[in-house]
Amino acid sequence: MTDAELLQLFRTRESDRVERKESLSDGVRVCQAICALANDLPAYKATGVVFIGQRDDLSCAGLQVDDALLRTLGGYRQDGRLMPFPTMYVRKVTLDGCEVAAVEVEPSDNPPVRFEGRTWIRVGPRRAIATAEEERRLVEKRRYGNLPFDAQGVAGASLGDVDLRRFELEYLPAAISPEALAQNQRTRDQQLRALRLTQPGDIPTATAILMLGTDPRRWFPGAYIQYLRVAGTALTDQLLDQREIAGPLPDQLRHVDDVIRLNVQRRTTVGGQTRVDVVDYPEEALRQLVRNAVLHRSYEGTNAPVRLTWFDDRVEIQSPGGPFGQVTVEHFGEPGVTDYRNPTLAEALKAMGYVERFGVGIPIARERLAANGNPPVRFTVEAAHILATVFRRP
């Protein structure tokens, strides 16, 4: 938005497009406001704004807007509570002599957006949780031509290709707030569509097939993890074990966690009265890198799996698909530089507990490796794949 457009909204009362907060003392309400503006229930198709540093009576709160405040606001986008990721911009502006932080929120192409499992909306100056009918209206606003690959329908697939019992028993309670479930006013079809798991005509999306499919590889041949255990340091050395870890992604990740646990070697050293358990690889570092590979890989236009190859001196994790969006070869792995090829899949993995916070997988891996005494992870970033190499602890 231009400064003139911001000034016009700054001078108007709260409405469907404007909300104000004196300070950032209640970040939850700010996130609720962002969620409501992203849902754009009145369908204005125009940017909404949350002003931080202005009172409801339009007077200036005198807030000091520093870099720490702006970073906190920007971090709300990908801390995992707002899903799918809203398109928002945060900046400091001075309007009528008042310094404020302006959070500009674009209407979502893929509503409903939820905050902590709840769909927030604005009706005039009122913010509230959407009813079943309001949520249905949000779903009908989707701009299907603009959706990412993982939110698009899979041609030829039907609800018979989705484990609906698993959806009802595992996925739904994890993805939706208890209050919304308690209302019990939504049919299963409405729930599937609201969670971006089906498109009109009950066509499952790529995320539905990958997370809940009865046979994901029928539709995505590369949707598995190839595991190799090599006795040596080259692929031509003796092969001790090999597996194709397939099925829905939650099953794959549980299985690969077991593989990591079984392969990590532990030894105990005793010095005086001190007993220390030492591992050659920190399990959490490997888990984070495998989950990153599964989440950020390309499932479209490739039959290649994620590859987990365990050598005597290193572990290699290769993911099909190169950098995406604002993540480039030059900036790959830098703190704060993140983007999502599969945002709907990210939402699903977050709901099921396989992602705690977004954008921290690589930093966690680096931290655990350093703490364990392993060399730093080495990334080889190519246009068609990304290879993470983790070296054994000396």
CATH code of the domain containing 327: 3.30.565.60
Query: Sorting pLDDT into bands at 50, 70 and 90, what band is 333?
Result: confident
| Mean pLDDT confidence for 205-229 | 98
Q: What pLDDT does 236 receive?
A: 97
Three-state DSSP state, 381: strand
The domain of 13 spans 3-127
Query: Sorting pLDDT into bands at 50, 70 and 90, what band is 241?
Result: very high
Query: Sorting pLDDT into bands at 50, 70 and 90, what band is 274?
Result: low
* Backbone torsions φ then ψ of 301, nearest 5 degrees: 75, 20
Average pLDDT, the chain: 93
Q: What pLDDT does 184 receive?
A: 66
- Tokens 């971006």 correspond to 196
For residues 173 and 297, state if they share a domain: no
For residues 59 and 205, state if they share a domain: no
Amino acid at 56: D
For residues 160 and 183, state if they share a domain: yes
Amino acid at 204: P
Q: Which of 213, 240, 258 is the last residue of a domain?
A: 213
Per-residue pLDDT tens over the stretch 36-60: 999 999 999 999 999 999 999 999 9
Three-state DSSP state, 302: coil
For residues 194 and 234, state if they share a domain: no
Rounded-to-integer distance, Cα 333 and Cα 378, Å: 10
Q: What pLDDT does 248 receive?
A: 98
For residues 247 and 379, state if they share a domain: yes
Considering the domain boundaries, does residue 132 fall inside one?
A: no
Per cent of the chain over pLDDT 70 is 97
For residues 253 and 380, state if they share a domain: yes
Three-state DSSP state, 298: coil
N-to-C CA span, the chain: 54
For residues 186 and 328, state if they share a domain: no
Encoded tokens for 258? 């077991």
For residues 34 and 159, state if they share a domain: no
Considering the domain boundaries, does residue 103 fall inside one?
A: yes
Considering the domain boundaries, does residue 220 fall inside one?
A: no
Instruction: Quote the crossing angle between the two packed helices 249-263 and 283-296, to the nearest 10°.
Output: 150
Number of domains in the chain: 3
Considering the domain boundaries, does residue 208 fall inside one?
A: yes
Rounded-to-integer distance, Cα 205 and Cα 152, Å: 5
Considering the domain boundaries, does residue 354 fall inside one?
A: yes
Per cent of the chain over pLDDT 90 is 82
Cβ atoms within 10 Å, residue 224: 19
Cβ atoms of 304 and 320 within 8 Å: the answer is yes
For residues 265 and 310, state if they share a domain: yes
Greatest C-alpha distance within the chain: 74
Q: Which of 160, 178, 213 is the last residue of a domain?
A: 213
pTM: 0.90
Considering the domain boundaries, does residue 135 fall inside one?
A: no
Query: Sorting pLDDT into bands at 50, 70 and 90, what band is 337?
Result: low
Q: Which of 158, 178, 213 is the last residue of a domain?
A: 213
For residues 10 and 89, state if they share a domain: yes
Nearest by Cα to 20 from 3, 4, 37: 37
Q: Give Cα separations from 325 to 18, 338, 346 (angstroms).
A: 29, 8, 15
User: Which residue spans within 30-189 are E strands per DSSP?
Assistant: 48-52, 82-83, 88-95, 98-105, 114-115, 120-123, 126-129
Residues in Cβ contact with 25 at an 8 Å cutoff, skipping those fewer than 6 apart: none
For residues 242 and 94, state if they share a domain: no
Considering the domain boundaries, does residue 138 fall inside one?
A: no
Considering the domain boundaries, does residue 204 fall inside one?
A: yes
For residues 279 and 198, state if they share a domain: no
Per-residue pLDDT tens over the stretch 111-152: 999 999 999 999 888 889 999 899 999 999 998 888 999 999
